[in-house]
Structure 1
Amino acid sequence: MAFSQRSRHRDSGDIKQLSNIEKQILAFLHDNYQSENTQHETLKIAQALGKKTKHEINRDLYSLKKKGYVEKVVESPPTWKLIKYEPNFANSHNSFHESLNPSSSNQPSRSTVFPPSTFNAGDSSSSAKRHTDYSPFVPDNFSNPKRPRVDEASFPSSSFVSAPPVPLFLPVSAPVPILNIPEGKNAISLLNEFAQKNSQILEYTEAMSGPDHKRRFRMAVKLGNQNFFGPEAPTKKEAKLKAAEVALAALHSSVMNENGSTPGNPSSLVEATFNDKVAALVLQKYNELSQVLPDTIVGKKIIAGFVMTRKLKSGETAMQVVSIGSGNRCVKGDKLSLRGETVNDCHAEVIARRGLVRYLYRELINCDEDFKFVLKDDKYDLNPGIEFHLFINTAPCGDSAIFAPSDAATDQPGQDGSDGLHHPVFENNKQGLLRTKVENGEGCIPIERDTSVPTWDGILRGERLRTMSCSDKIAKWNFLGLQGSLLSHFLNPIYMSTLTLGMLYNHGHLTRAICCRVQKFMEQLEPDLSPPIPFTVHHPKVSGQNPDREIAKMKTREFSVNWSLGDERPEVLDGTTGKSEPRFGSVGISRICKAGLFQEFQKLCTKFDQQDMFKDGYYKSKMGAAEYQSAKQTLWYAFEKNGFGKWMPKPKEEKDF
């Protein structure tokens, strides 16, 4: 290709001949390069450079195309990519980043800069309030349209103070982590106390966007050398409060690193419970992952994640996020794959569980000195002291959520779980029913008694695809384990130790939905139908948190994000098709679809010289876990025998590959 050939012979003279806008475009494309398939829409590039419309950079993009730097890959919407990525390009051509920050070649290319300002005595936080103007790399949604952009080159370098670097595509509605704030205080006052106690400088910076009649505000917090970014809010006061909450939660989430140390822990200021820490860790990790994605695709309403805890020799507990999921869509019936290449259920907790399974495969395959399993008979157990904890920022759909009257707990005193016991509510015969999700929508419907198990040809003719609710799936995990059938060849059941919820927490409804109804139904079975050892009904500790009510007002998107420990970047799926989105760097089949996880199973079998386990394909490999399959049939029979519905599996053809 002529352009590619030319790209190999550019020198510094070529770069110097480019306009400043052309240099900024190329710097953006290099800084955000993930693979040869990385593409960016014109409008996104323009917004990242501080432009309001794509027309402001069209001429420059076509000029770069003519010079052999970029290629247009999609006409509508216009989308571009680098012809050749050069890893040392930015370092060997300082003029790229100097064009973004002409006052100092040593400053970070994405730094925020501030003109001199005076202390605002009216600020209740007793912190300096600075007005911000950002580099061309900062998205428009974090700038003040009323103030003219400040040219750094027009000020002496000493007039500027480096401010927190603002990530590209910072989500404007990132969820605020959950904290238990002592009565009479708020996050702003606690953060001030922490800064004073630790002799650290605390600064708030503000930005606003939107028309005059509908302003939106955001705040960034700089505490010492740490930077935190809050979500959007309708008022400056609320934006500042949320930014402080993000900062406090982030400090809490670093309570324990892998070495057991406690850097920057403001535990003396905020009484954080264990569940607070789990929630803060998950939400902070989600915020971190979403910073590399356009905020227009990131679903923020439903987020879930698993945190692993491990007892250290010092007696302290290390906490680490191992899996993250977001989303609330299911695949359409006509998109099902006969090769296992679709993720059928993209609800957050289901995605997080699949990510956990992938993490378990990775640990078993690696088997390094930090091995987290111990051999017991012919299978592995988790090492003592290792536990997994699930956080969901709202109640799981189905039996748990549908009866929760509000997002505040309404349990009676003594029956709210504070005694460490479960107090399930069984008030009528509708509570405890199996339910399925609505295809390509939100909400769940009960399974009628005469509902037949779906067939492949029926779905092809337009029969509605039934996907079990998240409440039902969590109940299944609390009986069969989180590991699934394939890993049951190697692992004994792994159960979650705790479950923490945000919105719609109700102890009585939650405990009934996720475990206690299964216990009730099992007790009514004939003795000879008892589930095989080691499967049993597990009752995790449950807790609710004070939710961020702004999350409830958000609209959901069809996109789903997944990540597990060891992944370089998050993967984005379209929940309605069940496939990865190449527009956002996700190439090939999803790593958490059936086919993707079956590949991990084959690697594990090969490691342990058990190739016979997978030679007959996915379906027979699952059926080969005889004890697991027997326990599953017992669970399904228990629901149906007690009149609470049939479990709706996907057609067999969908697993037969």
Structure 2
Amino acid sequence: MGDNRFTFAVQRLPAGPSYAESFQDQQSNRSNSRIGGQIKRIGPDIIEDLLRGKKNPVQCLNEYCSMTKKTIVYTETGSGYRYANYATIDDVQFPQGTGRSKKEAKIAGARRAFAALLDLDEEAFDTKFAGMSDVKIDRHGHKIVENGSNNPEHLYTAANVEELTHKLNLLATDHEILKSKGVAHALQRVNTERALSRASTINNSYPVVNNNNNNNNNELPIPIYGRESVLSGRPPSSMNQYLTSTPISSFGGTSGLTTQIENPITNLQEYCKANMLPIDIKTEVCEPDPKNPDQRKLYRSCVILDNDETKISDVYAYTAIDARRRASQRALEALMKKQPSHIITSKPMVALTEYEEISNTVADFIKHNRANDHSDMFDTIHNRFYAAFVVKRTQRDVGRVVAFGMGSRCPEPENVSEMGESLLDCHALSLARRAFIQYLYGELINYANGSAIRSILETSEKDSTKTQLKNHVSIHLLISGAPTGDGREFLPADCDGPMAPYDLVQMRAAGHAPIYEHPEHGHLRYKLSVGMETIDADPLQRFAIMSCSDKILKWNVLGVQGALLSNLIEPIKLASITFLSGFKQSHTSRAVCCRLEKATDPVRVHHPMIGRVKYPLVQPQEFDSDYSYVWSTSFQGEIIDARCGRPVTGGTSLISKVVLLSEYRHVCQRLKVQSVTSDTSYYNLKQTAKEYQQKKRAMIIYLEQKKFGYWSFEKKHLEQFRWQSTIPPIQRNITM
């Protein structure tokens, strides 16, 4: 948390006739100035600067608080994959805004504060919404604005500016009105009126147009927003749609405080979230009519279903923002009425299975990063192999991506460092799992700080010195294709075709039925340096890297947390594994868990749910492998030169073993458990997890006895490094 404070003395004038008369005086066009410590009226310049984009919202809000002698505090926080910031004015907290940087989040927070103060939709004074920006709403209701050419034409009249200026003056002198605009009052109102508001929004917000006609067709009359309709008369001012219907005379009354602001885009956003429906709102400038050169410029906006490019609505207006709002309103009317001409029924609009839901969550993460990441890694993701860890906090939760990796090769042996500074495996699955471990360290820090609600961990029921995953939290893995090794080598050619009825039944019933039709079915395999090819793990190779199928097998016995974290966390098992392609139930189940189904104590294999999405991902002939990518909620994305196992920017990767050792020492200090000294090697610390090591040895012995091959030797010479004071714990992202 960080605070940026702009503090000014608080002094208010009583609201009275003299103040009202002073406000009506129009001789001065500039904002109030402090004379002799007195507050004078707010002029129109703050509103004009805000609406026309001459100053950003932070500058305008600071200026307003300075001139009205109010205290304003900006507080940094976090939200999902973005930075967040909210403003507090005279101890009244306002909604937070998010952005790709701290500066952008602060501006967004100030914009949302103005939106609450003036009873406006924040789009009313965000100039990017006035131009040719397109709006995307994903399956979870997240709204992304893709900036286009910015040509602000807000059509704000003097009356609009005067009305909003009046509101600012009332807010400057009446703290109760100011308090009513804050988050606390809004939450209280929502809790007391939620049922009534929801019923009103669903049933009454979108009346059927022209319902007096006798047309029995459910189709909405398209011409109401057509080009001819707009040209026949001027549409309502865009500002009038942002303002509440409450007259200015009742601004300080109860009705003015509870009136909901109708915003079709926001309502459409809520509908998309409820129905997991992705849409695009596209806007363009219409070509002028050569026969009528004096005709006003027209804007055209349409709403399109993102999953099949079906156009739901298509409208015209005199401003881009008017067109977007009208298109959103018409689209919502069409969706809620479920008109056959607008709704595609050939594909499901909601996730039908656990695997579709996880796939949708990761797809939204990729779409977000493709739009916001400055590298080209996500632009070329169709040529890359990737994996992601998703955390669900409840059964109904759609999940959140907490770790992500891309890659398909291992570094050259001569580039591997014995000091734990380089990565041994730059395949997507290994990178994502390391990023997930960094996420777990962040959760341990939350737990150590007493943030029981925020953390997914709680005190272990078996050992009070450890933590465990909360009962309602589950961990899910997604892989873009079949993992290297046994899960990939023997897949039939039709594995990405329509699923057979037997496979569908097995997948839905979470059943596993492995087959062993080939002598090498179930064998351990070693990775080659480049690509997805592997070789049989017989004979034994000391320095080989185990295949991804074998690593998943190990996680289903020992947990994904690894040896070091086993000293602090009970084993964490995967609830499900989702494959975007390369899935065959009989082969995949054998590779990831069922090879050990007959093993006895202490080897107890966990059988996660495994399945594939309905429409598999098309795999490239060859993967881009020279560069890998890793991301976690704990740090910004990192591009790895997979040929040497180090970041392309130089230095040490944030998921390297030497950095993870520093994280482990830091967390142990916070939890006040075993200390890590400079005399203890990384290898010796791993050996202190005795139960973990005992199960691992038993698993290796069982695999050898069943002639499944040999697990590669412990690479002791690569783990003899010790904690270094020159490598501090990472600076973590602020997350919620």
Same fold (TM over 0.5): yes
Larger displacement relative to structure 2 (282-291 or 301-310): 282-291
Q: What SS does structure 2 have at the residue aligned with 1:622? A: helix
Match of 1:40 in 2: none
Residue in structure 1 matched with residue 669 of structure 2 by the alignment: 606
Does the CA contact (< 8 Å) of 2:386 and 2:406 recur in 1? yes
For residue 336 of structure 1, report the CA deviation from its aligned partner. Answer: 0.9
Aligned counterpart in structure 1 of residue 474 of structure 2, from 387, 390, 401: 387
Does residue 1:619 correspond to 2:656, yes or no? no
* Structure 2: distance between partners of 1:158 and 1:627: 77
Which residue is equivalent to 1:138?
Answer: none
One-letter amino acid of the structure 1 residue matched with residue 397 of structure 2 = T
Measured on the aligned residues, the alpha-carbon RMSD in Å equals 4.1
Q: Counterparts of 2:400 and 2:657 in 1: how far apart (Å)?
A: 26
Q: Deviations over 1:253-287 (max 9, x none)?
A: xxxxxxxxxxxxx9984453221111111122123
* Structure 2 equivalent of residue 571 of structure 1: 638
Question: After the TM superposition, which of the residue ranges 339-348 and 106-115 deviates more from structure 2?
Answer: 106-115
- Aligned mate of 2:387, from 304, 307, 320: 304
Give the aligned partner of residue 592 of structure 2. Answer: 514
Cα shift at 1:106: 7.5
Cα–Cα, structure 1 residues 294 and 380, in superposed 2: closer, same or farther, change >3 Å?
closer
Query: Deviations 1:471-518 (Å, cap 9, x if unpaired)?
Result: 000000000001000100011100010011011110000000000002
Q: In 2, Cα distance between the equivalents of 1:601 and 1:429?
A: 42
Q: Which residue of 1 aligns with 2:415?
A: 335
Letter in 2 for 1:426: Y
SS of structure 1 residue aligned to 2:508? coil
**Structure 1 match to 2:376:** 295
> Could you say which residue in structure 1 is the equivalent of 2:457?
373
Rounded to whole Å, the distance in 2 between the matches of 1:304 and 1:225 is 40
Q: Deviations over 1:527-549 (max 9, x none)?
A: xxx31xxx621000011124555
- State the Cα deviation string for residues 306-358 of structure 1 (Å, max 9, x = none): 111112xxx84352111111111111110111111112111112211111111
Matches of 2:664 and 2:529, distance apart in 1: 30
2:362 to 259, 282, 305: 282
**AA paired with 1:640?**
E
Please name the residue that 1:167 is paired with.
Answer: none
Q: 1:631 to 1:578 in 2, by over 3 A?
A: same
Please point out which of 622, 627, 630 is paired with 1:559.
627
Letter matched to residue 481 of structure 1: G
Q: Does 1:642 align with 2:706?
A: yes
C-alpha displacement of 1:156: 11
Deviations 1:574-614 (A, max 9, x none): 112110111xxxx6311111112111111111112235345
Structure 1 residue 420 displacement after superposition: 2.3
Indicate yes or no: 2:510 matched with 1:423: no
Task: Answer whether contact 1:282 1:324 (CA < 8 A) is retained.
Answer: no
Partners of 2:513 and 2:325 in 1: CA distance = 46
CA contact (8 A) 1:299 1:559 kept: no
Alignment of 1:227-376 (within 5 A): 269-291=349-371, 292-295=373-376, 298-300=380-382, 301-311=384-394, 316-317=396-397, 319-367=399-447, 368-369=451-452, 370-375=454-459, 376=461
The two structures have a TM-score, normalised by structure 1, of 0.56
Matched residue type, 2:391:
M
Q: Superposition pairs for residues 452-491 of structure 1, below 5 Å?
A: 452-454=541-543, 466-491=544-569
Paired residues of 1:282 and 1:304 also in contact (CA < 8 A): no
Q: 1:106 to 1:435 in 2, by over 3 A?
A: same
User: 1:112 corresponds to which letter in structure 2?
Assistant: G
TM-score (norm. length: structure 2): 0.51
Give 1:542's aligned residue. 610
Is 1:434 aligned with 2:512? no
Partner Cα distance (2:471, 2:662) in 1: 29
Q: Provide the identity percentage.
A: 28
Task: Provide the residue aligned with 1:112 in structure 2.
Answer: 148
Change (3 A) 1:430 1:605: same
Check 1:161–1:329 CA distance in 2 against 1; reply closer, same or farther (3 A cut): farther
How far apart in 1 are the matches of 2:562 and 2:657? 12
What SS class does the counterpart of residue 352 from structure 2 fall into? coil
The aligned runs of 1:169-248 (5 Å cut-off) are 187-188=307-308, 191-192=310-311, 195=312
- CA contact 1:114–1:163 (8 Å) conserved in 2: no
Q: Counterpart of 1:591 in structure 2: which amino acid?
A: L
Query: Is the contact between residue 408 and residue 505 of structure 1 (CA under 8 Å) also seen in structure 2?
Result: no
> Using the alignment, how far apart are the partners of 1:543 and 1:447 within structure 2?
27
Q: How many residues align?
A: 415
Alignment of 1:22-61 (within 5 A): none
C-alpha distance in structure 1 between counterparts of 2:630 and 2:298, whole Å: 39
Equivalent-residue separation in structure 2 for 1:201 and 1:107 (angstroms): 16
Which blocks of at least 5 consecutive residues in structure 1 are unaligned?
1-85, 92-102, 116-125, 129-149, 165-184, 203-221, 228-250, 252-265, 455-465, 524-529
The residue aligned with 2:484 is 397
1:633 pairs with 681, 684, 697, which one? 697
Judging changes above 3 Å, is the alpha-carbon distance between structure 1 residues 400 and 87 closer, same or farther for their aligned structure 2 residues? closer
> 2:581 matched to 1:503?
yes
For residues 559 and 672 of structure 2, the distance between their equivalents in structure 1, rounded to whole angstroms, comes to 25
Tell me how far apart the structure 2 counterparts of residues 226 and 514 of structure 1 sit (CA, whole Å).
Answer: 48
CA contact (8 A) 2:507 2:610 kept: yes
Contact 2:527 2:547 in 1 (8 A): yes
Greater RCO, 1 or 2 (C-alpha within 8 Å, sep 6+):
1
The letter for the 2-side match of 1:536 is: R
Check whether the contact 1:424–1:516 (CA below 8 A) recurs between aligned residues.
yes
Aligned-partner SS, 1:445: strand
Seen in structure 2, the aligned counterparts of structure 1 residues 405 and 160 have a Cα distance that, compared at 3 Å, is farther
Deviations along 1:59-106, one digit per CA (max 9) or x if unpaired, are: xxxxxxxxxxxxxxxxxxxxxxxxxxx989xx9xxxxxxxxxxx9998
Q: Residue type matched to 2:361 in 1?
A: L
- Structure 2 distance, partners of 1:225, 1:652, is 66
Q: Which has the larger radius of gyration?
A: 2
Instruction: Kindly indicate whether residue 571 of structure 2 is the aligned counterpart of residue 493 of structure 1.
Output: yes
Q: Secondary structure at the match of 1:552?
A: coil
Q: Could you tell me how far apart the structure 1 residues matched to 2:666 and 2:295 are?
A: 56
State the one-letter code of the partner of 1:516. C
Pick one of 593, 608, 632 that aligns with 2:656. Answer: 593
- The structure-2 alpha-carbon separation of the partners of 1:338 and 1:507, relative to structure 1 and needing over 3 Å to count, comes to same
Contact 1:613 1:624 in 2 (8 A): no
Q: Per the alignment, in what secondary structure is the counterpart of residue 403 of structure 2? A: strand
Query: Is the contact made by 1:341 and 1:595 (CA closer than 8 Å) also made in structure 2?
Result: yes
Query: After TM superposition, what 4+ stretches of structure 1 lie above 6 angstroms from structure 2?
Result: 103-106, 155-158, 222-227
Evaluate the alpha carbon distance shift between residue 503 and residue 87 of structure 1 in structure 2; reply closer, same or farther with a 3 A threshold. closer
The AA in structure 1 aligned to 2:688 is G
Residues 603/296 of structure 1: CA separation in 2 closer, same or farther (3 Å cut): closer
Q: CA deviation at 1:648?
A: 1.2
- Residue type at the aligned position of 1:588: G
Corresponding residue SS for 1:493: coil
Relative distance call for 1:571 and 1:427 in structure 2 (3 A) is same
Alpha-carbon separation, structure 1, partners of 2:428 and 2:515: 25
